[in-house]
Amino acid sequence: MDWKVFITIFAAVFIAELGDKTQIATMLFASDKDISKLLVFAAASAALVVASAIGVLAGSVLSAYISEKMLSYVAGTGFMLIGAYTLYQAQTS
């Protein structure tokens, strides 16, 4: 296993997930005294694993038709557009 790649992917996903809607939803479920914290952890972890599996599958399929460089451009542009939209929404609210 290439630990450098593993740590890079782990760090990127970990930072991206901090403070997002997924973490907030998980915290809300965990705050319910009637719900097992282990159950919340297991369900949230399973959801992230399934979502990641879909991402890996989609990336594998797309890479058969589109170059890695082009996928990077598309992803980067998408992130910039989402960021610009978020800034616009914050400015107009």
Question: What is the rounded distance in angstroms from the CA atom of residue 90 to the CA atom of residue 41?
Answer: 32
Sorted by where each begins, the domain ranges of the chain are: 3-92
Please tell me the predicted confidence (pLDDT) of residue 44: 95
pTM, rounded to two decimals:
0.69
Give the residue among 31, 25, 16, 57 at the shortest CA–CA distance from 44. 25
Q: 16: pLDDT confidence band, cut at 50, 70 and 90?
A: confident
CB 75 within 8 A of CB 83: no
Whether the pLDDT of residue 19 is over 90: the answer is no
Taking residue 26's Cβ as centre, other Cβ atoms within 10 Å add up to 19
CA distances from 44 to 9, 28, 36, 79, 83 (A): 19, 12, 12, 24, 25
